[in-house]
């Protein structure tokens, strides 16, 4: 799908020195929710669900994307990734301003998502197509 007007960028929104983003992946019943709850509790992450953000946005009065989201959901198709990324960015900005948090867990991204092309974060020290070992996650003390 071509980029939607006004929703693409040439550079990352934040530096990895400022924001840590972990995408939570796994099938139903894999324990994503359990692990997210532990990371939120133990390390202060903010857990953001793409699906929750889309559902909230479709019902928000004056939403720029509400009707589009409703149509995609009604038709059983995937909402354009640019819209989902914009909602995540907005939620992250809001969290940083109101809660002063910079650690994020994001779940609900579909399999067509390609992080580097969407610029949500920036520098990647390891290729995304390799599996990450638990000891490669550096969390604050």
Torsion sign, CA atoms 10, 70, 30, 141: positive
Domain ranges of the chain: 32-110
Per-residue pLDDT reduced to its tens digit, 62-111: 999 999 999 998 998 888 888 988 899 999 999 999 999 999 999 887 65
CA separation for the pair 45, 29 (Å, rounded): 21
CATH code for the domain defined by 32-110? 3.40.50.300
Whether 30 has a pLDDT exceeding 90, the answer reads no
pTM for this model (two decimals): 0.72
Q: Which two tokens stand for residue 36?
A: 């997210």
């Amino acid at each position: 799908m071509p980029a939607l007007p006004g929703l693409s960028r040439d550079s990352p929104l934040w530096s990895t020195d400022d924001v840590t983003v972990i995408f939570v992946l796994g099938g139903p019943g894999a324990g994503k929710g359990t692990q997210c709850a532990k990371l939120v509790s133990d390390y202060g992450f903010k857990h953001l669900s793409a699906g929750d953000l889309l559902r909230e946005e479709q019902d928000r009065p004056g939403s720029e994307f509400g009707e589009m989201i409703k149509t995609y959901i009604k038709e059983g198709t995937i909402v354009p990734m640019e819209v989902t990324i914009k909602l995540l960015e907005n939620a992250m900005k809001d969290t940083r301003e109101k809660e002063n948090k910079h650690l994020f867990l994001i779940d609900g991204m579909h399999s067509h998502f390609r992080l580097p092309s969407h610029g949500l974060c920036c520098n990647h020290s390891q290729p995304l197509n390799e599996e990450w070992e638990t000891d490669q996650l550096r969390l604050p003390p």
